[in-house]
Amino acid sequence: MRDVIVVAPRGFCAGVTRAVDTVRLALQRFGTPVYVRRAIVHNAAVVSQLVEEGAVFVDEVEQVPPGAPVVFSAHGVANAVRRDAEWRNLQVVDATCPLVDKVHQEALRFLADGYHVVLIGHTGHDETLGTTGQAPGRIHLVTEVNQVDLLPFDSSAAVAYLTQTTLSTDQVLPVVAALRRRFPILRSPRIADICYATQNRQDAAQWLAGVADAVLVLGDQSSSNATRLREVAAARGVRALLAACVQDVPTEWFEGVDVLGLTSGASTPEHLVQDAVAHFSAMGAAVRYELLATEQVTFALPQVPGQSRVPEGAS
C-alpha cells in the first residue's frame, strides 16, 4: 500500500457529541450509576468507555430502579417509553438528537393536519421505533418500493412522508417516487430529513471511491449511517469494508490496494481512525488528509433534573 487518504467530514456528528456529553453531564450531576436506555449511539467502543465512567446500559426503563436517573439515547424513544419512565418516577435526561426530534414533530404536525404519515426507514431500528411510537398505528413504516402498494389507504388519500435520518438519498428516492405514483397528494418534509452529517459523510465516501482502490469505513456493524457509507462506496465499484477497528480487517483484504480511502461513521470515535493511521504509517504508507466540507453545527446540551439551565459552553 502506497497511500492512505483520510477524508473529512468523518466521525462524530453534532448529535452524537451531544449524546455522549449528555451522559457525562448526568454522571457529573447524579454520580454513579446513571442508567442509559439502550446504546447511547451505535458504537460498542463508545458504550464501553461510558460503562467505565459509571453508566449502566439497559434495554428498557423497567430495568431502572424507581427514582433513578435515566438517559434516553440519541435515536429517540416512543411515547410509551416516556410514560413508563414517568410512572417509575425516573429522573429523565433526554439525549434525543434534535434532528430526530424534528422528524417526530413533523409527524405529529402532519397527523394533526389530517395526513396519513409514511416513514421511510429500517424495521427494528431504534430511530424508527421511536418515530413510529409517537403515534402508534398511525405512522406507517416502509422500507422497500414494493411495500408502497401495501399501504392501507386509498390512492386519493392525503399522504405525507418522512425519513429515517441516517438513510442514503439513493435509498430514499425510489421509495418517494413510488409514493408519488400511487398518491398524487403527497407532502414532503419542509427540509429533508436525512441529516446534514449523514449526507456529508456519504458525499465524502463517494468522493473517496473515485480516487482510491478500496475504501475502509470504521464503524459498528449496528450503525445505520456507517453501513450506508460502505454501501455508497461499494456502489461506485470499489472494494469497500465496514470494520469496528483496523485490527478487525483481514490482512488479505489489502492485497492489490495501492491507494486506500479511510473514513468513519458518525458514531465512531476519532481515536479509532488515528489508530488506523498509525497502523498504516508503520507499514510505510504515506497518509494525507482531505477536507471536503466544514461542519459548524453544534447542539446545546439538555437540562437535567435539578439543573436550572444548561452549563455555559455546552453548545
Judge whether 312 counts as a catalytic residue: no
Q: Which amino acid is at 313?
A: G
The label of the residue with cell 468507555 reads: 49
What DSSP state is assigned to residue 63? G
Backbone angles phi, psi at 70, to 5 degrees: -140, 135
CB 115 within 8 A of CB 187: yes
- Write down the H helix ranges in 31-57: 44-53
Q: Is the peptide bond before 98 cis (omega within 30 degrees of 0)?
A: no
The label of the residue with cell 455522549 reads: 20
Q: Which of 52, 62, 106, 127 is catalytic?
A: 127
Angstrom distance (rounded) from CA 158 to CA 228: 31
The label of the residue with cell 396519513 reads: 116
Cite the active site residues. Answer: 127
